[in-house]
């Protein structure tokens, strides 16, 4: 897990969101510690995951990783925390 004490638990919405989405993330979300997925790079390469997919997962993790949002009105399971998982190729790639 990332243990960076300089990261505030109050999220700053990533660029590219609508103003409404920015307000929602900043008013309702919290930032929790998340894993640095780059530590799996060599293992994923060894399993045949393309480097471009690993880079894409790392970029997602940098932007969204550890962001906890409240549940949607139709979902009763509690908040969800955004994190990248093992990257995969597209369905077209097999």
- Write the pLDDT tens digit of every residue in 1-42: 444 555 677 788 888 889 998 998 899 899 888 888 888 999
Domain boundaries, the chain: 19-88
CA–CA distance, 66 with 50 (Å, rounded to integer): 24
Contact predicate 61/34, CB 8 Å: yes
- Write the pLDDT tens digit of every residue in 70-91: 877 777 676 688 888 877 765 5
Q: Which residue has the tokens 């300089």?
A: 6
């Amino acid at each position: 897990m990332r243990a960076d004490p300089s990261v505030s638990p109050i999220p700053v919405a990533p660029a590219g969101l609508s103003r409404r989405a920015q307000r929602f993330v900043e008013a309702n979300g919290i930032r929790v510690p998340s894993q640095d997925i780059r530590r799996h790079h060599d293992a994923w390469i060894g399993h045949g995951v393309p480097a471009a997919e690993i880079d894409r997962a790392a970029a997602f993790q940098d932007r969204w990783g550890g962001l906890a949002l409240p549940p949607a009105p139709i979902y009763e399971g509690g908040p969800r925390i955004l994190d990248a998982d093992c990257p995969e190729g597209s369905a077209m790639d097999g």
